[in-house]
Chains A and B, each alone.
Chain A
Amino acid sequence: DAKTTQPPSMDCAEGRAANLPCNHSTISGNEYVYWYRQIHSQGPQYIIHGLKNNETNEMASLIITEDRKSSTLILPHATLRDTAVYYCIGQGGEKLTFGTGTRLTIIP
């Protein structure tokens, strides 16, 4: 699996877009980028994944650079319930390898 690098923490004002970056410069051509989040005292929750095209679902948008060396998870209108640790994972096999993620705090 590709090694990923994320900032340890970020703040975002409630109602604004939260943009969470992830570097995965060693990602190979067949590895997807997955995003999970973990709210305090809960298990991780799948958010979105992509290979090379931008993706959007009801939770978030995923923007992957053309060279696939980095990506950004976008929460368009952050709420207090989005406060969590966000994990970016480069995955090509059948298991997920979690790093330490980005702790996102939504400020009222």
Chain B
Amino acid sequence: EAGVVQSPRYKIIEKKQPVAFWCNPISGHNTLYWYRQNLGQGPELLIRYENEEAVDDSQLPKDRFSAERLKGVDSTLKIQPAELGDSAVYLCASSLDRRTAAIQFFGPGTRLTVL
């Protein structure tokens, strides 16, 4: 069974440029998460989807970050424009449903470097 797929694995951009990350969760998983992980820190939740609905986006910086999960399967996280402080690893995770929300399966992440 394929795990959570993320692309790209690495991205280097200059500040003020836009960037997008893509995630394909495990087949059949209704809940999808985007996390940001700064160096030396644990992952921090940005947004959580139940199917195509964003049910928790309280930590998403909405002035520059946006996300979508059309058709309730794969998802895209976008930053526009990127700032130096956005350099981090962006992780996508999925879980089967709300009942098993704490057992999450993570992708390898996208390492973003903003110059």
Interface residue ranges, A against B (CB under 8 Å): 32, 34, 41-46, 49, 87, 89, 91, 93-101
User: With A87-B42, A101-B42 as given contacts, are A96 and B102 in contact (CB-CB < 8 Å)?
Assistant: yes
State whether the Cβ of B82 lies closer than 8 Å to any Cβ in chain A: no
Whether A94 contacts B101 in the complex (CB less than 8 A), given A41-B108, A42-B108, A45-B106, comes out as yes
**Contact A43:B42 (CB < 8 A) given known A32-B102, A94-B48, A95-B101:** no
Q: Is the interface of B mostly helix, strand, loop or mixed?
A: loop
- Residues of chain B within 8 A (CB-CB) of A45 are 106
Give how many B residues have a beta carbon under 8 Å from the other chain's beta carbons: 22
A-B contact pairs, 26 of them (CB 8 A): A32-B102, A34-B102, A42-B106, A42-B109, A43-B106, A43-B107, A43-B108, A43-B109, A44-B91, A46-B103, A46-B104, A49-B103, A87-B42, A89-B102, A93-B101, A94-B48, A94-B56, A95-B48, A95-B56, A95-B101, A96-B45, A96-B102, A97-B45, A98-B42, A98-B43, A101-B42
Q: 8 Å CB contacts to A: which residues of B38-80?
A: 40-45, 48, 56
> What residues make up the interface of B, taking CB atoms closer than 8 Å to A?
4, 33, 40-45, 48, 56, 91, 93, 98, 101-109
* A44 x B45 contact (CB < 8 A): no
